[in-house]
Amino acid sequence: MTFVKIDIDKLIDSKIISQKKHFRYKLDNLTREYQELYHKTKFVNETLGFENKEIIIPITRNKKTNEYSFYGDPIEIFSDKIISFENYEKIKNQIDKLKGSKLFKFEIKDDKKIIDSKFSLVEKVINEIYIDLSQSAELIKSNFSSNLRNEINKNYDNTVYEVVDKNNYKAEEIFEMMKFHIKISRRQTRSNESWKINERMLLDDLGFLTRIKFNNKIVSYSFFFHDKFTCNYLSSVGERDYYKKIRNMHHKSLWMAINHAKKNNCNYFFIGPITLYSKNEITEKEKNIERFKSKFKGINSKFVILSDLPDYNFYKNLLCIK
């Protein structure tokens, strides 16, 4: 079996990719355009697969740095069954021909074994939290931490919580969020064009905002992108001076977003990753964000990030979950 180049636009038709809640939304055209603007580069398609599409490896090359990824995310290998030694060696040989730095992402079951292995290629082990939106709102909420449930149920005086979608969106409001973000961050972290992509997502019914007002003043915005499968928490900003007055500012934003995604018939809601192990120290700010996200308990999908493809024994014994 030989490798062939695969068009990214055809990947959504692949059965081994189309039902992957953590990956499918990355194939959306607007998401890919957003990633290019976010990373300030163009990505060249280098996606590989066997002729029979039994194994598919979505890959792009960063034109600026020549790094290999999938639009900035680690490379994944998709197969509907255990990869044989012969095919795994073919993959390694093909990947070795790509001369540039790469990271690889594999779904795992036993994070403890991976961490205890002290394998030098392990960069990170993460737990991605997803909410199953086929469940009732009551059941979804019952799985959350008790502290989170209490915060969601609170309402504060003079505070209004709103969802903004294509039906009530006012032209260029996304730039109000951008200005607010610049004010809080004290710098512009991404281009106007990337915010314009967020607006296009919203107008195409692929995105929405949550907005919180206190005494008719906007104190928080969050933006969410979704295809018809997974809703993704993309960005958020809040005025810290109001955190003590509105203690559930981000809790309520996420809860509103979960319910809105459910009404839009999404299958899953991606809360975000929690670090179980990292070779590099993560900041206190990152830890605090992860502590917040960990209160939203749902489906745990665990992954390991590797700096290179391991040998076949490591793949077969620790990475293979079929």
- Residues 41, 96: one domain? yes
- Residues 90, 135: one domain? no
Domain interval for residue 237: 129-301
- Residues 139, 86: one domain? no
**What is the structure's pLDDT at 80?**
87
Over residues 275-299, the mean pLDDT reads: 94
Question: pLDDT tens across 160-180, in order?
Answer: 999 999 999 999 999 999 999
pTM for the complete prediction? 0.94
Residue 310, pLDDT > 80, answer yes
Strands annotated E in the chain? 3-5, 43-45, 48-50, 55-57, 60-62, 68-69, 78-79, 104-108, 122-132, 159-164, 207-214, 217-226, 230-238, 268-278, 299-306
- Residues 104, 51: one domain? yes
- Residues 74, 167: one domain? no
Residue 146, pLDDT > 60, answer yes
The domain total for the chain is: 2
**What is the structure's pLDDT at 52?**
81
Question: pLDDT tens across 12-64, in order?
Answer: 889 899 889 999 999 999 999 999 999 999 999 999 999 888 999 999 999 99
- Residues 288, 198: one domain? yes
Phi, psi of 257 (to 5 degrees): -65, -40
Q: What CATH number should be reported for the domain holding residue 137?
A: 3.40.630.30
- Residues 173, 281: one domain? yes
- Residues 151, 112: one domain? no
- Residues 110, 212: one domain? no
- Residues 250, 176: one domain? yes
C-alpha span between 200 and 52 (Å, rounded): 36
- Residues 251, 273: one domain? yes
- Residues 235, 295: one domain? yes
Question: pLDDT tens across 116-136, in order?
Answer: 999 999 999 999 999 999 999
**What is the structure's pLDDT at 3?**
86
